[in-house]
Amino acid sequence: MRFGPAQLALIAALALVALLTYTLARERATAITVAQAETRNFARVLEEHARQTLRLVDISLAQADAALARLRRAGNFDPAQARQVLTELLPLDRRVRSFLVLDRGGNVVLSTAADEATAGESRAGHDYFVPHVRGADRELVFGVPERSTVDGAWLLPVSRRISAPAGEYVGVLVAMVPIAYFQPFYDSIDRGPDGFVALFLSGGWAAVSSSDDRALVNRDWSQAPMFREHVPGWPTGTVREPGPWDDIERIYSYRALNDYPVVVAFGRSAASTLAAWRWTALRDGLLLLTGLLALAGVTRAVIRHDRSRRVAEATLAESQARYRLLIEHSPVGIALLQHGRLVYVNPALVGILGAGSASELVGQPILNSVHANCREAVARCVADLEGVPAAPVMQQEEVLLRADGRQIDAELRWAVIPYGGEAAIQISVIDITERKTAQDSIREARTFLEAAVAQSPSGILIADAPDVSIRMANQAALAIRGGDQGHLIGIDVSRHAANWQVHRPDGSPYPSESLPLSRAVLQGQTTSNEELIIRDESGKERWISANAAPIRGGDGEISAGIVVFHDITERKEAERALGESERRFSDLLSNVHLLAVMLDAKGNISFCNDFLLELTGWQRNEVIGHDWFAHFLPEAVRAPVRAMFLASLQSGRIAEHYENEIVTRNGEQRLIVWDNTLLRDARGQIIGTASLGVDISARKQAEELIWKQANFDFLTDLPNRRMFRDRLTQEIKKANRTGHRLALLFIDLDNFKEINDTLGHPVGDLLLVEAARRIAGCVRDTDTVARLGGDEFTVLLTELADLDDVERVALAILKQLAEAFRLADEVVVISASIGITLYPNDATDIDELLKGADQAMYAAKNTGRNRHSYFTQTLQEAARNRLRLINDLRGAVTGEQLRVHFQPIVSLASGHIHKAEALVRWQHPGRGLVSPAEFVPLAEETGLIVDIGNWVFHEAARWSRRWRSLHHERFQVSVNMSPAQFERDAAQHDWLGHLLEIGLSGQGIVVEITEGLLLNADAPIMASLLAYRDAGIQVAIDDFGTGYSSLSYLNKFDIDYLKIDQAFIRNLAPGTSDMALSEAIIVMAHKLGLQVIAEGVETVEQRDLLVAAGCDYGQGYLFSRPLPPEDFETLLSS
């Protein structure tokens, strides 16, 4: 490739520019690299300086903390002394300006700088205090710098937690580090123009900078890129970006200390870093510009000379190129012939003759490319034009041969032109093979169409314009007309129709000038499937269906018209017979009480009877021809039912019986049972469906009501026990197939009976309905909530992937049921107990699952209620033991297995035994001595407590009478009386009668009752207590202070003793809350004229504290355990 002067000059200039650009870029990169390394080094220096300084501060804080700890251990912590100690610990280099001690609430205890912090001043909201309360993850906590109230100096708070020897949080020790301590070192660092050096807190607060960077320091830069993007990603780094405080671009390095929550940074401005480089670039650029200008002057002179030479050469070549361009790109094949041989061929001719290139043809005789049959004619043309300087253009069509031997039809045009200094024959070649082929195809098509028209089963007539004279009639037309072509060709349509009677379908005459073929020729109208009736001379009537259209020439004018018609007489007869049949069928369906409807293949209504219209409220003209599915079916089922309908038409199979709902005009839905069949035409093609229906809405509603009443709870509308068992059965089968687990929750409302009895059954019913709603709101739609009866509910959780879901649901139900219920005018608070069994973990049988959940529910009740419990084998074994124990307990009452023991009640003032409490014991023949805590609750639950209580009373009365006569005439025996005994009116009469019978004064017996009995006391209970009072029997409140304490009943009822529960006595010690409560009970009782008995006294210290508090009596193992009556009598005698 040859380059001109301009290109060479441009290349040289570009080379110089590229060299300078490369050099400058490398020098610039070097300057930036050096600056980055320098900032990293300075950042490391700053990091080490900050670490050493903060370590010294850490040591000072540790020393101060140790000094405070020593003072605390010495006792009698004195803030003045502590201030003196901490002042002495302040470093001489003043890296710590002052110490500040805060208590656990954030209040100032002392400060070594009393003028900066006042004792009692709150620092609870400061950021160097709050993290210690939450439990800081670092030993040291840094706060935002604060300005001294004395001299305005900035101080950096650094704090650490103060802990007691046991590790508990006591307060916070703060060292106030002066920012000025860092200042000399930071000011000594050369950072250049617009550079910066700074120390930040890890949260983004700028704590320290050089003296010149006042716009940076003491501000929060947490949203700056360094803290928002860089430091969270990597603790050290070098960045080039504008500073957020002044938008000056800098190169800076930062380092986050791993042992203290601070970040140091050093940066230089990009402008100062690149200042030397910019001077070098300016100098080298000016030198380059000078050289480029000199090069441009020389190049311009050389170009001017070269341009004049090129213009002359271009003019000559232009004319030659123009001619060659025309020839080379001509679509017509062109060849030059001299002496019978080809001397030039253009690309178009190479393509026409199928040669690989022009070189294959040039030099060859022209006759080699001519078919043998045409060579003589071509040779004659060549001979006539050879050597002639000029000749007129000649044209002929010949057959040529391609290189592959195929023949092509070609049009040749001959001319003589000068070429190479002598005459040459120019041959223009056009390939007309496709045109010839098209002409042959048109002839073949015309022959084919003429044959098709002639043999068509439909009659075809073609008439010329403008007189509508018949040009052509096929055999089918002649068969309908009769006669032959000679009688028809050439006559006009109106004269031909005169021999016929033509009528419209309504029977009116059809004018000949309005026939379809006449309208097509004369008016250009197109007719489609027009029906007419014709009668020939014999009177025979035929139905004809005609289609006519105009035939237009190339100019768009009508040149002829065509009509295609066929005989539809048989179809019309069939339609008439079908219509008669349908009329009779319609009459039949209109007189039966069935819904009848016919649909066509598109689903449109073609027929419906009056009964369907009466049921739905529509008029016939409003539904016939309309879409059945859109008009009568609910929107939700339209698409699937339509799809089923279309599938039936396509497959030829239809559901003979099915149910679905239809919608009446007023929106009511009716359930219909349909019998269906497919409709077919005479050829067996499916044309629609016919259906007969019966309205079963009322019957279905009755069935659903019966089913619902049998399977659902009438009050809460939840599944009842029967439905729940059915669903549980199905879900167990499903779980066996899928391997999923189930959970059964048995829920019982706590204290429901009391609410139902107190507020009445209507409120109780409202409570059950609302509880059902809350429980249902805690589970999924796929789970089941049921009411088994009363206040018992069950929940079935299915397809459990995680057993944590069971825990979540149980807790949610407990939370919902524990919230207050607003029922009518009442506010009710209840709780629930829930038992849980898992399938198949706990049981595989429905009854066992329910039994296990019931046992787990009672376990939840027995452990405090308002909780849930999972079924375990221990519960199952406990249930069996409980049942066995109840059965054994029934025999114990009559089998003389019960024993009564007596525990002395001692006068704390004198130490004498004045009373005893009768306590029942069960000597089981197999299990030995059974604890009362184990069998007394069972006795209360089963009602056996009444018989047991009566037996204990008789034994207590017998021994009381004996000991009053032998030991002390005022001796008393206390007997516990269960609420169940008060519910039996006969109990008080039996007891009082027995006392009269054995001659024992009522003063020999003390009845012990609970607080709960008095709170719920009704008229019978009050009457019993009054009867005991009248008989001289005294009453004691047992376990006082542990129930629903209310002082009002102490005035309302005649109470003689209060027994302080052993829960208060067990941990009795000076200064404790139990001591305070016990003293308060004793004082209150004495103010009310009651005596106090302390239960569970086990130590001398407890006795002495009770004596000091003024308690009257004590009972407990310090004095004696419960003893059999014989041993107790021995104790009395001693």
3-state SS track over 568-593: CHHHHHHHHHHHHHHHHHHHHHCCCC
pLDDT value at position 538? 67
C-beta pairs of 637-641 under 8 Å, 24+ apart in sequence = 637/661
Domains, the chain, with CATH or none: 24-273 (3.30.450.20), 330-436 (3.30.450.20), 456-567 (3.30.450.20), 573-700 (3.30.450.20), 716-871 (3.30.70.270), 902-919+943-1133 (3.20.20.450)
- Enter the tokens of residue 25: 């870029």
pLDDT value at position 488? 63
Matching residue, tokens 């006391």: 1017
Mean pLDDT by 10-residue block, N- to C-terminus, for the chain (1134 residues)? 70 79 81 85 88 89 89 82 88 88 91 84 89 77 89 90 84 92 85 87 86 75 87 88 85 90 90 81 80 76 69 57 73 87 88 87 88 89 82 84 89 85 86 83 75 77 84 77 60 59 81 80 86 76 87 85 84 75 63 82 91 90 92 90 90 85 91 90 88 86 79 90 93 91 94 83 92 95 93 93 87 94 88 93 89 90 88 68 83 87 95 94 90 86 87 95 92 91 66 91 92 69 83 89 60 85 90 90 92 95 95 96 95 88
pLDDT value at position 1042? 65
- Start-end of H helices in 903-1059: 932-942, 945-966, 979-982, 986-998, 1011-1015, 1019-1030, 1048-1052
Check: pTM over 0.85? Answer yes or no.
Answer: no
**Helices 5-74 and 275-328, packing angle to 10 deg:** 140
pLDDT value at position 753? 84
| Cα–Cα distance measured from residue 245 to residue 242, given in angstroms and rounded to the nearest whole number | 9
Hey, how many other C-beta atoms are within 10 angstroms of the C-beta on 750?
20
CB 1066 within 8 Å of CB 1097: no
Matching residue, tokens 């009943």: 1049
| Cα–Cα distance measured from residue 1054 to residue 1034, given in angstroms and rounded to the nearest whole number | 8
Strands 341-345 and 333-338: antiparallel
The kind and range of the H/E element at 445 are helix 433-455
| Cα–Cα distance measured from residue 891 to residue 889, given in angstroms and rounded to the nearest whole number | 5
Distances 520 to 528, 552, 558, 565 between C-alpha atoms, Å: 11, 11, 9, 14
| Cα–Cα distance measured from residue 268 to residue 252, given in angstroms and rounded to the nearest whole number | 6
| Cα–Cα distance measured from residue 194 to residue 266, given in angstroms and rounded to the nearest whole number | 11
Among 69, 56, 63, residue whose Cα is nearest residue 171: 69
| Cα–Cα distance measured from residue 629 to residue 619, given in angstroms and rounded to the nearest whole number | 17
- Enter the tokens of residue 309: 């030479």
Which residues partner with 678 through β-bridges?
689
| Cα–Cα distance measured from residue 546 to residue 520, given in angstroms and rounded to the nearest whole number | 12
- Enter the tokens of residue 430: 């056009």
**Helices 945-966 and 932-942, packing angle to 10 deg:** 120
Matching residue, tokens 């670490």: 51
- The torsion angle over the Cα atoms of residues 385, 388, 391 and 395, rounded to 10 degrees, is 10
Among 1036, 1054, 1059, 1040, residue whose Cα is nearest residue 1112: 1059
| Cα–Cα distance measured from residue 193 to residue 340, given in angstroms and rounded to the nearest whole number | 94
**Helices 721-738 and 697-711, packing angle to 10 deg:** 90
- Enter the tokens of residue 582: 């349908």
Distances 877 to 51, 833, 883, 884 between C-alpha atoms, Å: 67, 20, 10, 11
CB 973 within 8 Å of CB 958: no
Among 902, 898, 950, residue whose Cα is nearest residue 924: 898
| Cα–Cα distance measured from residue 234 to residue 250, given in angstroms and rounded to the nearest whole number | 19
